Amino acid sequence: MTSEFDCVILGGGHNGLTSACYLAKNNKKVLILEALDQVGGAAVSIQAFKGKKANLSRYSYLVSLMPQQIIDELELKLNLISRSIGSYTPTKNNLGLLIERNIGEKTKESFLKLTGNDKDFKSWIDFYAKIEKIAQAIAPTLLKPLMSKEDFKKIVIRASDEETYKLLFETPITLAIEKLFENDVVRGVVLTDALIGTFTDGRKDLLGNICFLYHLIGNGNGEWKVPEGGMGQVSNALKEKALELGVEIRTNSKVIEVKSNERNVKVHFIDKNNQQLTAQADFVLSNLAPQVLNKLIGKSDHDQTQGCQVKINMLLHKLPRLKTGEDPNVAFRGTLHVNETLTELDSSFTQASNGLVPEVLPSEIYCHTLTDSSILSKDLIDLGYHTITLFGLNTPASLFEKNNQIMREKVKQKYLEGLNSFFVDKIEDCLALDDDQNPCIEVKTPLDLEESVFLPKGNIFHKPLQWPFATSIDEVGKWGVETEFANVFICGAGAKRGGGVSGIPRSEEHTSELQSQSTISYAVFCLK
């Protein structure tokens, strides 16, 4: 049985859904094939604990890179809420660094108390003011064809200065941070944005620089917002719009082969009834990891990239008190940094690189319910319950390959020990119990992420992040989504400007295609 479409999209993650919406808006017949029983990929919410009505954002949990332009153009039912606190970092000597979203006197006082002078505070204000100007200049380019490195450099220098360009784009990020800041805690807080999902110490390569850039340029301000209703609402809003526009979505449909020729592409898949079916289309957009796509088209792939993070989701009956004395409602409202001084980040990276579970595991915590309680049922809200998510750094997939189950438990205990060193109340005593009286905590290793949402070795970016500009002459004017096949394109995190919950790698047929049945000329980022 063969069905014909203008486009078949492989994978129903948020990027695939966004692509489908834009194509359908242009009157294209679109089919999405999703292997799981629901769309959304890693941008989903789930009730993870038996009997507890708490819709946790299980994998991804904040939004920054998704352009407001996409939300507006698709008229998505999506509300992104600002957090009043950027971050809080407790220290071993019971001090703490508080960073407000809008820097004020509390932030200044916190810097002075921690560092003993105002040098790092002034450096912070100067550095991030330049970063914001750069973000305002770069963000609009994400929705346009790739520009040359030279033109991109000119934009950055015009927005800041040549010294800042060299620090961000030519100097390994840790060395740049050490040049700008003196305090070990401050240095670590800055560096964490370069390490989320990226395994590097930021001393010998520029991988951390790329990650740092993406964490700070979203919508021209780099603000990370809370999606009202949880991450699942991002995907639900896109799904509703796609269905409204006539997109056909087939869940429980596993793609087994993709065959491209000059005229069309045939996608063979197995549906929920275990029938093998074929969908034929003018072109295919792949929301799958490039490594997975390569297998489907019969191309060898030797990519060895691995994910490096552990995700821990918890439901608490109360927030733990901190030894610093800071109000938990403040400390947990932004990002709570744990064991993330530069020294601790360096040490944990070195140990993990040598195949060891770090003695001290750096992590950061985020509490959704302090900003948006709608993910909880009324009775849980009335009882004072909260959800928290821990994102652990420097735990590469290779650490779990011999025995994922044993290592999962080992790192869980280490992370909890790390938290308890800063808390008055043990985190274990704050955990809610499900209906079977089990603690409400779940741990996802990189290998668990691979099994559940098909991220190769748990890599949340599919492949290493890439600069958002052309790195060769051949790429200039293209979109960073092309493959060796003229009618197969990448529309997911593995695209040139993919990674993160952005919706940026979406695709529309070029207007010339409306008069032609030849191969697609443009994909991704193309705005009418």
Determine the Cα–Cα distance for residues 321 and 137; give it in Å rounded to an integer.
41
Return all residues near 459 (Cβ < 8 A) that are at least 6 apart. Answer: 197, 289, 305, 306, 307, 446
Q: What is the mean pLDDT of residues 156-164?
A: 98
Tens digit of each residue's pLDDT (9 = 90 or more) over 120-155: 999 999 999 999 999 999 999 999 999 999 999 999
pLDDT of residue 501: 84
**From the centroid of its chain, how far is CA 279?**
31
pLDDT of residue 390: 98
The pLDDT of residue 261 is above 50: yes
For residue 363, which of 399, 405, 403, 394 has the smallest C-alpha distance? 394
pLDDT of residue 230: 97
Is the separation of the CB atoms in 278 and 257 below 8 Å? no
More reliable by pLDDT, 224 or 514: 224
| β-pair type (226-227, 80-81) | antiparallel
Tens digit of each residue's pLDDT (9 = 90 or more) over 452-495: 999 999 999 999 999 999 999 999 999 999 999 999 999 999 99
Return all residues near 77 (Cβ < 8 A) that are at least 6 apart. Answer: 233, 237, 240
How many CB atoms neighbour CB 302 within 10 A? 6
Q: What is the mean pLDDT of residues 413-422?
A: 97
Q: How far is CA 407 from CA 49, 352, 391, 509, 523, in A?
A: 22, 13, 16, 46, 42
For residue 440, which of 38, 53, 42 has the smallest C-alpha distance? 53
Q: How confident is the model at residue 504 (pLDDT cuts 50, 70, 90)?
A: confident
pLDDT of residue 199: 97
Helix axes 342-353, 184-192, angle to 10 degrees: 60
The SS3 of residue 322 is: strand
Q: What is the mean pLDDT of residues 304-317?
A: 95
Is the separation of the CB atoms in 440 and 314 below 8 Å? yes
Alpha-helical runs (H) found in 43-172: 68-73, 105-115, 119-138, 149-159, 162-169
Determine the Cα–Cα distance for residues 125 and 118; give it in Å rounded to an integer.
11
Q: What is the mean pLDDT of residues 262-288?
A: 96
Q: How confident is the model at residue 1 (pLDDT cuts 50, 70, 90)?
A: low
pLDDT of residue 235: 97
Q: What percent of the chain has pLDDT over 90?
A: 92
The rounded mean pLDDT for the chain is 94
Q: What is the DSSP letter of 229?
A: T
Tens digit of each residue's pLDDT (9 = 90 or more) over 52-99: 999 999 999 999 999 999 999 999 999 999 999 999 999 999 999 999
Q: How confident is the model at residue 262 (pLDDT cuts 50, 70, 90)?
A: confident
pLDDT of residue 303: 80
Q: How confident is the model at residue 305 (pLDDT cuts 50, 70, 90)?
A: confident
Helix axes 207-216, 162-169, angle to 10 degrees: 120
| Least confident stretch, 134-143, 283-292, 299-308, 470-479 | 299-308
The whole-model pTM stands at 0.94
Residue 1 in tokens: 């049985």
The SS3 of residue 444 is: strand
pLDDT of residue 505: 82
Residue 123 in tokens: 């450096």
The pLDDT of residue 517 is above 80: no
Return all residues near 390 (Cβ < 8 A) that are at least 6 apart. Answer: 310, 311, 312, 313, 314, 363, 364, 365, 415, 419
Alpha-helical runs (H) found in 170-252: 173-180, 184-192, 207-216, 231-244
The pLDDT of residue 524 is above 60: no
For residue 173, which of 196, 134, 200, 155 has the smallest C-alpha distance? 200
pLDDT of residue 499: 86
**Enclosing H/E stretch for 35:** none
